[in-house]
Amino acid sequence: MRIDIVTLFPEMFAGPFGAGIVARARAAGVVEVALHNPRDYTHDRHHVVDDTPFGGGPGMVLKPEPLFECVEALQAQARGHVVLLTPQGRLLSDAVARELAEQARLIVICGHYEGVDERVREALVDDEVSIGDFVLSGGEPAAIVLVDAVVRHVPGALGSQQSLAEESHAGGLLEYPQYTRPAEYRGMRVPEVLLSGDHAKVAAWRREQSILRTARRRPDLLERARLTVAERRMAERVARGQRVDVRPRLFRVVVPVGEVDRAAAFYAQLLGFAGERVAPARHDFDCGGTILACVDPRADDGGLRPSAGCVYFAVEDVAAAYDRARAAGARITDRVRRRASGERSFYCRDPWDNPLCFADEATVFSGGRSVP
C-alpha cells in the first residue's frame, strides 16, 4: 500500500513515523509513506497557500490551487483514494480503517487554519474523515492517527494477524482484560481460569469479559456487535444496570371517565389529536411518551386504577389550549393566569370532573418553578 500525505508541516511526521508499527511496516516494504508540501506547488514569490475568506470572518482558508496541483500531480502517477481530514468528516472507526486499508493508494490531505476552500471538497476529495468530535489546530495529528489505524490492517504489517482479530473493536466489542507474569503482584492475582491451561474455558471467559466490558463502558457499541441471543440478553441486562439515569419514568396517567366514546371525542378535541382505542373501555393519548389513559372504571378493563389528582399538560400555546378546552366543553374553573415564575396556565375540569391544568412548556421546562 502507498500513502501520500499532503501537509504544510511534513516535519511533524518524523517522530511518529520513525518508530513503531508504521516504521516497521515501511521497513518491511508493506507500506510506502511519502510527504508532500502544497507550498511546493505555489507559483508566487512568497509561496502563499492561504487567504482570507470571501464574505469576511476570522482566520485563513487554504487556497484551492496548491492543493489541486499537488493532488493532481500525485494522481497522474497512480490513482489514489483522496481523504481530507476534517472535524466535519465521517468518524474514524475500526471499520473505516479496515475499509481504507483495502485501497492500493491513499492520498491524505491535512486541513489547516479555518478550513479548506470548498471546491477542494467538491472536486478533489473522495472522502472526509474526522478522528473525533473535537477540533485540532490542524489535520496532521489526525493523519498520524489515521495512518496508524489503517496500517495495522494492511496484511503483513502486524506480527500476528490474530492479535488484530482479537483486539478492541474488531468484533464490535472491547477487548478482554490481559495479564502477564507474575501471576500475583502486590496481592493482586491473575484470574485462575487464565492459569488453568484449558483453552476452551479461557476463550469463554475472554468472550464474556469482552461483552461485560463493552456493556459497562460502551453500551452504544452493543447494537452493532455480533452477539448470540443469550449474549445479547446478558449484555443488555448489564448495560441497563449501568445507566446513569435510573430514575423511574412516568409512563401512564389514568383518568376515570363515564363513557369512553365521549371521553375519546372530548380529549381528542382538547388535545388536538385522535388517540387510540386500545380496549373496549380504554382510549389512550400518547402525550410525548407518557400515556393519558381514559378508562371507564366500571368496565372490566384489566384492572387499571385511576391516578389521583390533577393532570398537568405542558403546551406550546396556552391561549390556544384555553380556546380548545372551551370548544370541547371543559368546565373552565379559572382564567389564564401568569404566576410569579412567569408561567402561564389555566385550570379546568373534564365532563367527569377530573381536574386538568395546561401550562406553557417554555417556562415549565426552563428550570423555573414548576406548576404548584
With contacts defined by CB under 6 A, name the span among 7-15, 126-134, 196-204, 341-349 that binds ligand ADE. Answer: 126-134
CA gap 206, 218 in Å, rounded: 17
Least separation, in Å, of the C-beta of 320 and ligand ADE? 45
- Per DSSP bridges, beta strands 2-6 and 105-110 are parallel
Q: How far is CA 281 from CA 6, 143, 256, 263, 298, in A?
A: 70, 64, 10, 10, 9
Q: Which stretch binds ligand ADE (CB under 6 A): 42-50, 136-144, 216-224, 236-244?
A: 136-144
66, 115, 139, 256: residue in contact with ligand ADE (rule CB under 6 A): 139
What is the DSSP pairing of strand 188-189 with strand 115-116? unpaired
Candidates 57, 123, 134, 251: give the one binding ligand ADE (CB under 6 A): 134
Q: What residues from 320 to 359 belong to the interface with ligand ADE (CB under 6 A)?
A: none
CA–CA distances in Å: residue 183 to residues 20, 189, 203: 28, 6, 19
DSSP assignment letter at 284: E
Binding piece for ligand ADE, criterion CB under 6 A, among 65-73, 124-132, 168-176, 194-202: 124-132
Contact 89, 132 (CB under 8 A): no
Determine the straight-line distance between the first and last CA of the chain, rounded to whole angstroms.
68
CB-based contacts of 323, cutoff 8 Å, min separation 6: none
DSSP at 138: B
Q: How many residues does the chain have?
A: 372
**Beta carbon nearer to ligand ADE, 54 or 134:** 134
142 binding ligand ADE? (CB under 6 A): yes
59 touching ligand ADE, by CB under 6 A: no
CB of 142 to ligand ADE, least distance (A): 3
Minimum Å gap between C-beta 281 and ligand ADE is: 57
Q: Which of residues 71-110 bind ligand ADE (CB under 6 A)?
A: 85-87
Would you say 96 or 318 has its CB closer to ligand ADE?
96
> Which part of the chain contacts ligand ADE (CB under 6 A), choosing from 132-140, 149-157, 181-189, 352-360?
132-140
Minimum distance from CB of 341 to ligand ADE (Å)?
Answer: 42
**Least CB distance to ligand ADE at residue 92 (A):** 8
Q: Whose Cβ is closer to ligand ADE: residue 21's or residue 110's?
A: 110
Report the distance separating Cα 300 and Cα 280, nearest Å.
Answer: 9
One residue of 15, 18, 20, 132 binding ligand ADE per CB under 6 A: 132
Of 12 and 85, nearer to ligand ADE (C-beta) is: 85
**Residues contacting 158, CB < 8 A, separation 6+:** 21, 152, 164
Evaluate whether 202 touches 196 at the Cβ level (below 8 Å). yes
Secondary structure (3-state) at 315: strand
Q: Tell me: does residue 7 bind ligand ADE (CB under 6 A).
A: no
| Distance (Å, whole) CA 129 – CA 142 | 9
Q: Contacting ligand ADE (CB under 6 A), which of 130, 209, 354, 363? A: 130
| Shortest Å distance, C-beta 86 to ligand ADE | 5
Alpha-helix residue ranges (DSSP H) falling in the chain: 14-18, 20-27, 64-77, 94-101, 118-123, 140-151, 161-166, 192-195, 199-217, 229-241, 260-271, 318-328, 361-364
Three cell numbers written together for 219: 453500551
Choose which of 66, 111, 172, 275 interacts with ligand ADE (CB under 6 A).
111
Q: Which residue lies nearer to ligand ADE by CB, 17 or 176?
A: 17
Q: How many residues bind ligand ADE (CB under 6 A)?
A: 12
Q: How far is the CB of 88 from ligand ADE (least distance, A)?
A: 9
| Contact pick of 27, 123, 135, 200 for ligand ADE (by CB under 6 A) | 135
CA–CA dist 264, 293 (Å, integer) = 10
Among 1, 5, 131, 239, binds ligand ADE (CB under 6 A): 131
Binding site for ligand ADE (CB under 6 A): 85-87, 111, 130-132, 134-136, 139, 142
